[in-house]
Amino acid sequence: FLDPQLYYSTFEGKIFKHLEEGICYPKNITRRDWRKQTPELMNYLDMHAENSALLSDSLITPGFFIQNLDWHFDYSIDIYEYCYETYAFEKYYLTLLISNNFFHSKSDVDEMIEDLIDNIDHKEGIYFSICHEKTEEKDYEYMDAQNLANILYFIYSLKNAGFDIMVGYTFFNSILFAMLDCEYVASGWFNNIRKFSRDRFEEIESTGRRKKRYASLPLLTYITFDTLNIISETIDIEELLSDCDIDEYMVEDQDTISFVDLEQQYWQALSIFIDKVNLCHSLPQKISFVLSEIAYAKELYNEILNSLSDDRETYNRIKAGSKHLDSWIMAIETFKKRISLI
């Protein structure tokens, strides 16, 4: 698959200098550009279709960054329908890059679902990504429970309407989307840019050394080596590992593990968990399995925190790093109520 990345066209100009050289993204696209079908935009659509055909028999159609139900959304649908009629591919995916804040409104989510179902004649695929805003939240995996519940409902509703769903730029929350029978749930980047946001290509000051992290399925956390080793003083480190290829080095010689090894471990751990979800045959079974895994992770964290009562600094840091588990539970329970799943 080739991500068209047209959403960059409405971002700040300074971002472009940090993108790949050799790809000519349209700049400063406005509402009238699609209405007038300007050469800059139409040539880009042709170029994207040509490049996609070199890689795939599927086309992810270009779309805009969506913050509200406005022309960015409407024209993304129009471009999808245009590409469907103009370019010859076996399958088509509508790009929906949507602000995380949009999902705080249940009524807006319901309206978008209705518009997608009513206004798209050729219901094939949706390439769905969430654009996250800057936050002071220390738990990288954390998302507001209400937003996450509405995202789950959004995916569930579109899947039921006949769309195949590909979720891009996910982090550990991809295991929640796996419950919903998405086609793909773990695409995108790695490490600190797993969460897509508009400022990721701005230059920032780098301080300190890069921290190594391990994707722990028992803890359902992408955790630093330092924290994992502190925890291993309470719980045997082998109980915290994910049954991945590098696990023997996690026990015997962590210094030999490279960041390339850790990227492969991250994707391998997600794949192991998603394969287990896929062994369940129904949505209730999948939800039950995921909730049981979250409950087990919370039990481990409780055991760890009880052993750290005298070390408040470490206690608070580890407690903050597990906050996402409660948010996930709340989101799943809210989602279950919305679809009347008892």
Q: Quick: pLDDT tens for 223-248.
A: 889 999 989 988 999 999 999 999 99
**pLDDT at residue 195, as a whole number:** 54
Taking only the tens place, the pLDDT of each residue in 23-41 is 556 667 778 888 888 888 8
Q: What is the mean pLDDT of the chain?
A: 86
- pTM comes to 0.88
* pLDDT tens-digit map of 280-317: 999 999 999 999 999 999 999 999 999 887 888 888 88
- Give the Cβ contact number of residue 113 at 10 Å: 17
How much is the pLDDT for 96?
94
pLDDT of 214 higher than 60: yes
Amino acid 310: pLDDT: 81
More confident: 24 or 68 = 68
Give pLDDT tens digits for 174-209: 899 999 999 988 665 555 445 555 554 433 444 557
